[in-house]
Structure 1
Amino acid sequence: SPDERKRAVVAFIHVEPRDVTEDSSAETKLVKNAKWAARKWEVQEIVLHSFTHLGEAKAEPEQAGALIDRARERLQNAGYTTVKTPYGYFNDLSIEAPGHPLARIFKEF
């Protein structure tokens, strides 16, 4: 049966090779941006969804998945209910977002 979330922040994540280097701050920025959006919307649920297949430069799947896993753990440790969609699969998603400027945020780092 489908997993349904009524009020959650959904992060669509594209991980590039530069994001998985030792000196990268991408993981921390992902966590901070997800927490910021959750606070703005006053929600405790965050969904992490990989959109890596859309970009030209892609990190190795194992490294990208590990980055998302670490971000999930950090968000859970901060008190958020965090769900990660299956990595490397095409998922059927139905999303409703309010017509509000903060409903769709793009961040590149």
Structure 2
Amino acid sequence: MKLLLLYAPDYWLKPFEKNLPEAPDASGEIQIQNAVVALIHAEEKDQADSAGVVTKAIKNIKWLARKFQANQVVLHSFAHLSSSKAEPIFAEQLLQQIAERLRSVGFTVATTPFGYFNEFRVHVAGPSLAKVFVEI
């Protein structure tokens, strides 16, 4: 798994175009302030240890959220961080597991529409720590 974690004082997203035919219809916009935005790329090798990958992803997201006192998280499937890609159904399940576990410890979690190209705007804070790349 590859994670690009961004601390965003302001985040906005709107579904643009469905790119997976089996994806449910999505509409509407997401607008969130003071959030960790996690761009998540699930890789083929993640399927061998999905529980471990989920746990490590959550630890990294929580770590950055604590640094900025953020209690909101945006999870966005972003299949552009590696040439190795997991099957879409597996990637979607990973995102759901991460979301459920973060919610269970008090985070407000938004997930962007899976299987869509999206239009989005991210205001990333200036400190170096506001932009973190993690390889799991």
Show the counterpart of 1:80: 107
Q: CA deviation at 1:56?
A: 1.3
Q: CA deviation at 1:55?
A: 2.8
Show the counterpart of 1:106: 133
AA aligned opposite 1:9 = V
Q: Where do residues 50-69 of structure 1 align in structure 2 (5 Å cutoff)? A: 50-69=77-96
Question: Does 2:122 correspond to 1:92?
Answer: no
Q: Tell me the distance in 1 between the aligned counterparts of 2:83 and 2:77.
A: 14
Higher RCO (C-alpha under 8 Å, 6+ residues apart): 2
Question: Does 2:73 correspond to 1:49?
Answer: no
AA aligned opposite 1:107 = V
Show the counterpart of 1:16: 43
Q: Tell me the distance in 2 between the aligned counterparts of 1:83 and 1:42.
A: 17
Show the counterpart of 1:28: 55
Higher mean C-alpha deviation, range 23-32 or range 41-50 = 23-32
Q: Tell me the distance in 2 between the aligned counterparts of 1:47 and 1:17.
A: 23
2:117 match: secondary structure: coil
Runs of 4+ in 1 over 2 A off after TM superposition: none
Give the gaps of 5 or more residues in structure 1. none
Instruction: Say what the alpha-carbon RMSD is for the aligned residues.
Output: 1.4
- Assess if the C-alpha contact under 8 Å between 2:50 and 2:94 holds in 1: no
Q: Tell me the distance in 1 between the aligned counterparts of 2:92 and 2:51.
A: 15
Identity of aligned residues (%): 42
> Of Structure 1 and Structure 2, which has the larger fraction of its residues in helix?
1
Q: Tell me the distance in 2 between the aligned counterparts of 1:23 and 1:74.
A: 14
1:105 match: secondary structure: strand
- Assess if the C-alpha contact under 8 Å between 1:9 and 1:45 holds in 2: yes
> Of Structure 1 and Structure 2, which has the larger fraction of its residues in strand?
2
- Assess if the C-alpha contact under 8 Å between 1:38 and 1:44 holds in 2: yes
Aligned residue pairs, count: 109
